[in-house]
Amino acid sequence: MRKTIILVSTILLFSNFANQDAEEILNRIEKNMSSDNRIFESSMTIHGVRSSRTITSRTYAVGDKKSFTEYLSPVREQGTKMLKLENQLWIYSPGTDRTIQISGHMLRQSVMGSDLSYEDMMDDRKVSEIYSATVIGDEVIEGRNTWILELIAKVPDVAYYKRKMWVDTERYVPLREELYAKSGQLLKRTTLSDVKQIDGRWFPTKIVYKDVLKQGDGTEFNMTSVKFNQKLPEYIFTKAALKQ
Amino acid sequence: MIKFLLKGLIRDKSRSRMPVIVVSIGVMLTVLMHAYISGFMGDTIEVNARFFTGHLKVMTQAYATDMDQIPNDLALVEVDTLREKLSDMFPDLDWSPRIHFGGLIDAPDENGETRSQGPAIGLGVDLLSTGSSELNRLNLQKALVRGKLPQASHEAILSDNFSLKLDVNPGDIVTLIGSTMDGSMTFYNFIVSGTVSLGHEALDRGMIIADIGDVRIALNMENAAGEIVGFFKGGFYDDDIALEDAEMFSSSFGDRPGDFTPVMKSLSQQGEMGTYVKMVDVWSAYISLIFIFAMSLVLWNAGLLGGLRRYGEVGIRLAMGEEKGHVYRTMIYESVMIGIAGSVLGTAFGLFFAWLIQKYGIDISGMMQGSSVMMPSVIKAKISRVDFYLGFIPGVISTVIGTMLSGIGIYKRQTARLFKELEA
């Protein structure tokens, strides 16, 4: 009996430590990945079934709540702008001169035909606030030691019930992620690479998204320029800025 | 003798009036029922053909697999070249590229903000080319409720119910929010040139029809199309020829299998339409047969009763020395005449009522509210060649068989007992 009590207590203690470690890992990741504000230019190459195309954009973001993206090329997408304020999203289309709010099922649409949905872009809550994390193992990826974290949603309104995240043990940057539905079906796979140290933080500058339910070879997202903690004028984050 | 029998029938109303009325009512119902069933079943097929399936349709292999989802990312490309090839291979068919799409129609207020919005089924067809037969095929001129049909690019028509729901009038601008061939979200402005009532609940709920040129720009589908539909120039769908054509076309690409290889499907090979075409053939035959059989029984019975009713008359004729065979034959001749007269009258009335239903139809839209099935909301009959002779089967044959059966009794009667029977 005494042995059993000691065994159960030990398991509980260790699982508690494991959870605490996982929470700590998430906090360290957030310190690396989030910032007060940032400006980045990126190119997004969408590898479709028939061909690939590249879209370039410039994004201004304040925390996780506000962001403004302007598409720079190709010609068809040039001038399209996107404004995210909290949980609202507007798109300005220069061809129609209309600003339209994206809501409801439209949020599930792909962003510019990529493997990312607007819903993916909209979820601005911290991972540690909406998921319970557990370290379930470790693995070596591309020569880097990683912990494997299993994240289970603790709030009901999340796009992905379960996530598996491979986190660099040294740099605290995710290197791979798998997103699952509640049924256990794998929905998306993300690979992060080209980790660079920018302003004292480790940051992946290349992300490959693959919607496993979609044909094609995924979407490659390259950050060509990243600047943290810049001075951003407040007017950028208004609907009026979309038409300018 | 025929003249003599005719005179007898005309002068003795009890031998002609009622039998002719019974036969003509039965024949009228048979003709009317057949035309009604043909019209209803055929109309449902034609509606689907005109708007969705065509008599034949060319798509990519991958598009054909997920056709219900309208996967425009898997659409045909280099459509002009393919269309020329189709016209050369199948000169008896008229080929037209089409793009089906889904999306939201957004109506702005004076500040450009969303005033109303609703989901729409979209159809891009060749509306602006000279010589295009799509306008007539879709019957858009007759379906026009308000405004006019598109006459320039950027113009589109909405289903009238949809326009009322969105509070949009001809001349207003609406924005299509859809998805391009690459999967990007797209926005495109259309001027509502007019509104139409297509007479089909599923379409009238939320339809936008625009020229394929505009839809190609909107969905980034230059020289591409979800499908190329073909219609027999004769106007009628022939499943056997369609299946042969589909096989011939698909085998011409047999050496290049792949997701984007064009394939041809006949109307009966597309989704539930195949089952429906087979069902229409079988049902039409069954329903017609059951009805003809039922009417045959009624008319046979009428013939039988007619024969029995004339029991006394036959007795007197036999007593007067007329041969049994002669009596039997004259009764059959008379029934042939009654059958023909009743069938002619019944066919005329049946065709008249069928023509009324063919011209004016029966409105069942009240029963179709909320339905997603592509069925006509006004049921119309369809008079075909068969209707001109179909009624003669129960009308003449059954009457004659009835008389023949009842007449057998003539041969069983004995002359010696005739006077005794007559005295009674």
CATH of residue A19: 2.50.20.10
Which phi and psi (to 5°) does residue B288 adopt? -65, -45
Query: DSSP state, B395?
Result: I
Give B184→chain A minimum CA distance, Å: 4
Domain for residue A91, yes or no? Answer: no
Query: What's the rounded Cα separation, in Å, for the pair B180 and B222?
Result: 11
Select the residue of A46, A100, A113 nearest B177 (Cβ to Cβ).
A100
Question: Residue A111's closest chain B neighbor by CA?
Answer: B184
Statement: residue B247 has pLDDT above 60: yes
Condensed to tens digits (0 to 9), the pLDDT of residues B288-331 reads 677 777 777 777 777 667 666 777 777 777 777 778 788 888 88
State how many domains chain A has: 1
Average pLDDT, chain B: 84
The strand ranges marked E within B197-345 are: 207-211, 227-232, 262-266
Query: What's the rounded Cα separation, in Å, for the pair B219 and B222?
Result: 9
Domain for residue A39, yes or no? Answer: no
Q: What pLDDT is stored for residue B420 in this prediction?
A: 64
Q: Which of A214-223, B37-46, B345-354 is the least confident region?
A: B37-46
Residue type, B202: A
**A220 is in which domain, residue-wise?**
2-33+124-225
Domain for residue A85, yes or no? Answer: no
Q: What pLDDT is stored for residue B130 in this prediction?
A: 87
Contacts 24+ apart (CB under 8 A), A162-167: A163/A131, A164/A136, A166/A139, A166/A141, A167/A25, A167/A29
Give A112→chain B minimum CA distance, Å: 4
Residues of A in contact with B218 (CB under 8 A): none
Question: Residue A115's closest chain B neighbor by CA?
Answer: B183
A50 at interface of B, judged by CB pairs closer than 8 A = yes
Query: DSSP state, B60?
Result: E
Condensed to tens digits (0 to 9), the pLDDT of residues B120-173 reads 999 999 999 988 889 888 888 888 999 999 999 999 999 999 999 999 999 999
Q: What pLDDT is stored for residue B403 in this prediction?
A: 79
Q: What pLDDT is stored for residue B416 in this prediction?
A: 62
Condensed to tens digits (0 to 9), the pLDDT of residues B253-277 reads 876 678 889 999 998 888 777 777 7
Query: What's the rounded Cα separation, in Å, for the pair B324 and B332?
Result: 13
Q: What pLDDT is stored for residue B262 in this prediction?
A: 93
Q: What pLDDT is stored for residue A7 in this prediction?
A: 44
Average pLDDT, integer, range B75-89: 94
Q: Which of B177, B179, B188 to mutate to test the interface with A (most CBs of A within 10 A)?
A: B177
- Selection from A161-165, B43-47, B408-412 with the highest mean pLDDT: A161-165
Q: What pLDDT is stored for residue A138 in this prediction?
A: 93
Residues of B in contact with A215 (CB under 8 A): 73
Q: At what angle do helices B311-319 and B415-423 cross, to 10 degrees?
A: 130
Query: What's the rounded Cα separation, in Å, for the pair B100 and B72?
Result: 8
What percent of chain B is predicted at pLDDT more than 90? 37
pTM for the model: 0.71
CB contacts < 8 A, A to B, total 60
Domain for residue A145, yes or no? Answer: yes
Give B179→chain A minimum CA distance, Å: 8
Verify whether the Cβ–Cβ distance B184 to A112 is below 8 Å. Answer: yes
Average pLDDT, integer, range B46-67: 89
Domain for residue A104, yes or no? Answer: no
Higher pLDDT, B152 or B423: B152
Condensed to tens digits (0 to 9), the pLDDT of residues B216-228 reads 999 999 999 999 9
Domain for residue A26, yes or no? Answer: yes
Q: CB under 8 Å to B50, separation ≥6 — which residues?
A: B137, B138, B139
Q: Which of A52, A82, A96, A106 to mutate to test the interface with B (most CBs of B within 10 A)?
A: A96
Residue the block writes with tokens 């598409």: A71
Q: What pLDDT is stored for residue A165 in this prediction?
A: 96
Query: Which residue ranges of chain A lie beneath pLDDT 70?
Result: 1-20, 124
Statement: residue B107 has pLDDT above 90: yes
Q: Which residues of A222-231 are buried (b: 16+ CB within 10 A; e: fewer)?
A: bbeebebeee
A76 at interface of B, judged by CB pairs closer than 8 A = yes
Q: What pLDDT is stored for residue A10 in this prediction?
A: 43
Q: What pLDDT is stored for residue B382 in this prediction?
A: 82
Query: What's the rounded Cα separation, in Å, for the pair A176 and B270?
Result: 43
What percent of chain B is predicted at pLDDT more than 70? 88
Q: What pLDDT is stored for residue B22 in this prediction?
A: 82
- ipTM of the prediction: 0.76
Residues of B in contact with A46 (CB under 8 A): 182-183
Verify whether the Cβ–Cβ distance A53 to B182 is below 8 Å. Answer: yes
Residue type, B129: S
Q: B239: closest CA among B270, B277, B283?
A: B277
Q: CB under 8 Å to B137, separation ≥6 — which residues?
A: B50, B231
Average pLDDT, integer, range B394-407: 80
- Structure tokens belonging to residue B141: 């001129």
Residue the block writes with tokens 């079943």: B41
